[in-house]
Structure 1
Amino acid sequence: MAAVGWGAYKPEHDVQGSERAREREERRDGALAARAAFEARRREEADELRAELWLSAAPSRLIRAAADRAGLMPAQVLAQLAERVVVGEDGTVSIPPFTPSR
């Protein structure tokens, strides 16, 4: 500071310090945004169910055929089936007719 003639530190004149402070603030904002996005994904995933499903040949062929006709992956057709499940008062499970779509 003495070399440049400053009697006291003046942040507005400290270009290097101001740049570093700005970079630090950008990193902090990025980290906060990433953490918020992580927390949002975690909350959403708490409501999700992931399962591995093994079907015998006949149902597997039907799912694959429906997926091919709709231009979907078999897992997408299964997800659409699951979204339409209706559970009756007596515990019966059914799915009303529908056409898989994108």
Structure 2
Amino acid sequence: MGGAACGVEASGWAVYEPDRDSAGTTWAAERTIRRERALAAHTAHLEQRREAAQEMRGEVWLPAGPGRLLRQAAARAGLTPQEVLAQLASRVAVGEDGTVSVAPFIPSR
């Protein structure tokens, strides 16, 4: 730490005074800002991971007939087939006996 002592001696200070050290104060403020940004980014990343863990992604292969009907329904609603499938999935009801059903609905934005 000879460099710091030399700086204090060169400045004429008897002891180091942080309030008078403009370079050190600036660096400390920048460090605090960098740390706050890093913590915010880390928190956002953790939240994304939590949300992603609750999501389910899948790939659906439909025969030509049902695929065509899905594309037609999507086109009428101004949606993509994936958006219609997402709306369909959000309306799924599972009975106590394990049956899966969806009440009729009109896809919409």
TM-score exceeds 0.5: yes
The answer to whether residue 53 in structure 2 is matched with residue 46 in structure 1 is yes
Letter paired with 2:85: L
Q: Deviation above 4 Å: which 4+ runs of structure 1?
A: none
TM-score of the superposed pair, with normalisation by structure 2: 0.86
Match of 1:23 in 2: 30
In 2: Cα distance, 1:32 partner to 1:69 partner: 45
Q: Aligned pair 1:93/2:103, yes or no?
A: no
Higher helix share: 2
Structure 2: unaligned runs, 5 residues or longer:
1-7
Q: State how far apart, in whole Å, the 2-side matches of 1:18 and 1:40 are.
A: 33
Residue 7 (structure 1) aligns with: 14
CA RMSD of aligned residues (A): 1.2
What letter matches 2:72 in structure 1? A
* Match for residue 81 of structure 2 among 69, 74, 80: 74
Deviation at residue 92 of structure 1 after TM alignment: 1.8
Match of 2:63 in 1: 56
1:86 Cα deviation after fit = 1.2
> Deviations along 1:37-61, whole A, 9 cap, x unmatched?
1111111111111111111111111
Whichever of the two has the greater Rg, that structure is 2
- In the superposition, the TM-score normalised over structure 1's length comes to 0.91
Same amino acid, percent of matched pairs: 58
